[in-house]
Amino acid sequence: MSRTFNQINYKFKTNFVKVNEYDVAYIDEGSSSDVLLFIHGLGSYLKAWDRNVPVLKNYFRCIALDLPGYGKSSKQIHSGTLEFYRDFIDKFIKLLDLKNVTLVGHSMGGQIALSYVINFPDVIKKLVLVAPAGFETFNNRDIEQLKNIISPEISYSTSDEQVRINYKTNFHQMPAEAEEMIADRIAIKNDEEFFNHCQIVANSLTGLLVEQVFSQLNKINISTLIFFGKNDSLIPNRIHYKTSTEEIAKLGASQIGDSKLLLFENCGHFLQYEIPEIFNSSVIDFLTNKK
């Protein structure tokens, strides 16, 4: 077993599976034949779903994973491309022999989920997107500017104070429970594999920017539930300051034929963590066909 971020602990039993050369950490809760596969965002980990799995596991089998390079998964540096991630997700689904799968993706995880469904259209049953990346488009100048903002060196040298500021930008009103994630992010700075993680985060951002999915959203033909907080300070990106979150959300949703968009006042980017009760009940209603 390769080294992991032993400074952090999960609330549920941590399982590992070998996907290619990566030891992949995941939790697996609930016994339903309907599976929710949760994909976290950039710089995040499976704790992103800590306020959702305890409830949703009573209705569905809930599997939340750490993408390669994140959380407790192994940290060999990889390309971070969407192709890498969708092939990884495909192998993970096959290794665990998962059926009746709904992908649930937050932010970067949303764009990974979109890319997966576009390229593997017959595998996934339904799709849940939480403030997904992929609804915006970026030109070459945008891409070069953004790549410089999140270099591995900058991430590696982020102060504890800046870590806290960065986390707060994910929320309209940060819940007290987020303190645990802030403490974890500060703790892993002392890990010998932390720079690898920072390099993977930078590679992953580049991957999102280079392989944009907006023009292919009309290929998605499965039922899709989309969440956005109107006070999201990360989408749209600051370089698109003349565009609102609501405009981005409605434009992206309009490209997906069978989609339902939920927009929430007084809510930020980390929606499933900021308003978990509303998120959880909405997911249950969507997947059980309740009106």
- What is the full DSSP assignment across 216-271? GGGG--S-EEEEEETT-SSSS-GGGTTS-HHHHHHHHHHTSTTEEEEEETT--S-H
DSSP 8-class letter at 120:
S
pLDDT band at 3 (very low <50, low <70, confident <90, very high): low
Question: Hey, where are the domains in the chain?
Answer: 15-287
Count other Cβ atoms within 10 Å, centred on residue 266: 11
Cα distance between residue 236 and residue 241, in whole Å: 7
Helix or strand or coil: residue 132? Answer: coil
Note the pLDDT tens digit of each residue in 35-64. Answer: 999 999 999 999 999 999 999 999 999 999
**pLDDT tens, residue by residue, 228-269:** 999 999 999 888 878 899 999 999 999 999 999 999 999 999
DSSP codes joined into one string, 79-105: ---HHHHHHHHHHHHHHTT--SEEEEE
Under CATH, what is the fold of the domain 15-287? Rossmann fold (3.40.50)
Please check the confidence at residue 290 and state whether its pLDDT lies above 80.
no
Q: Record the tokens describing residue 7, joined without a space.
A: 């400074």
| Structure confidence at residue 207 as a pLDDT band (50, 70, 90) | very high
Predicted confidence at residue 150, as pLDDT, reads 77
Which token pair is 289?
């066909």
Q: What is the pLDDT of residues 78-137, one digit of tens each?
A: 999 999 999 999 999 999 999 999 999 999 999 999 999 999 999 999 999 999 999 999
pTM: 0.96
Query: CA–CA separation, 139 vs 118, rounded Å?
Result: 22
In the structure encoding, which two tokens stand for residue 60, read together?
């569905």
Residues 6 or more apart in contact with residue 213 via CB below 8 angstroms: 82, 111, 114, 115, 118, 134
The torsion of the CA quartet 105, 203, 247, 110, rounded to 10 degrees, works out to: -10
Q: How confident is the model at residue 146 (pLDDT cuts 50, 70, 90)?
A: confident
Confidence of residue 216 (pLDDT cuts 50, 70, 90): very high
Q: Give the C-alpha separation, 100 to 35, whole Å.
A: 6
Residue 122's CB: how many other CB atoms inside 10 A? 7
Q: pLDDT category, 2, cuts 50, 70, 90?
A: very low
Residue 97 pLDDT: 97
> How many C-beta atoms surround the C-beta of residue 288 within 10 A?
10
Q: Which helix (H) or strand (E) holds 128?
A: strand 124-130
The helix/strand/coil state of 212 is coil
Q: Which of 48, 19, 53 is nearest to 36 (CA)?
A: 53
Residue 200, helix vs strand vs coil? helix
Spell out a b/e string for 210-243, using b for 16 or more CB atoms within 10 Å of the CB, else e.
ebbbbebbeebebbbbbbbbebbebbbbeeeeee
| Residue 222 reports pLDDT greater than 90 | yes
What are the tens digits of pLDDT across the range 151-196? 899 999 999 999 999 999 999 999 999 999 999 999 999 999 999 9
Model confidence at 1, pLDDT cuts 50, 70, 90, reads: very low
Q: How far apart are the first and last CA of the chain?
A: 46
